Amino acid sequence: MSRPQDSAKRSRILDAALQTFGEVGFSSATIKDIAGRADIAPGTVYTYFSDKRELFRQTVQAAWTELHAELDAIRKENASYAEKLTRLRHKGLALLKRMHPILNGMFSEAVRMDLFTENLERFLDQLEELYLEGRSKGEIHELQDHRQRRFLLRTIACGLLLQISIVDAEHLDQEMDRLHDDLEQNEQAWLEMNRTLGGRP
């Protein structure tokens, strides 16, 4: 008979795994180290996760799930397309900063498990829905066809994730500030193009 699970304890294990994988990498991390950081017995980890690879997978998936939920919430807000883009920029970068310790491992391990690809495509679907909503309300105009837009968004998203993953912790705040400014400028340029295309001052 399986032991009952505690959601708070599961979250504690995931938080400990995030830090441990980030510090020593997937190969060097041990269940014992993760359990020690979560202040539980090593055997307790197996109540929640079948092995280290499953724990890593769920740690990465937890971050993606939070991002998907944030984007869904932003889409449902009673706000303009421009306001939603601003919210997405702030929320997305804050989450990426928190997930910095595991981003490098996400590329090396999660890609092999198709986790990265599956979640990236879902994220792009959500961005496309946000775009189509803005277009249906007349807030933005068609600038590229679907395939061009998808390719551009995929390139930007992958580049952003890779860029953050290679920054050391000491320079993370500085890099996040720079990325925020770059994204804000690109966002304003995109909105300005749409205003011009729509004939608005």
Question: What residue ranges define each of the domains in the chain, with the CATH number in brackets?
Answer: 1-49 (1.10.10.60), 54-197 (1.10.357.10)
The angle subtended at Cα 183 by Cα 126 and Cα 123, nearest 5°, is 15
Which tokens belong to 130? Answer: 């946000």
Are 75 and 126 in contact, with CB atoms under 8 Å apart?
A: yes
Q: Which spans in the chain are helix H?
A: 7-28, 31-38, 42-48, 52-76, 81-98, 100-105, 115-136, 146-165, 172-197
pLDDT per residue as tens digits for the range 136-152:
888 887 666 788 888 98
DSSP 85: H
C-alpha distances in Å from residue 181, one per residue of 19, 99, 175: 27, 20, 10
The residue among 149 and 123 whose pLDDT is bigger is 123
The residue among 113 and 14 whose pLDDT is bigger is 14
Share of the chain above pLDDT 90, in %: 42
Cα gap 51→10, rounded to integer Å: 14
Cα gap 90→184, rounded to integer Å: 10
pLDDT of residue 1: 43
Question: What is the arithmetic mean of pLDDT over 178-197?
Answer: 84
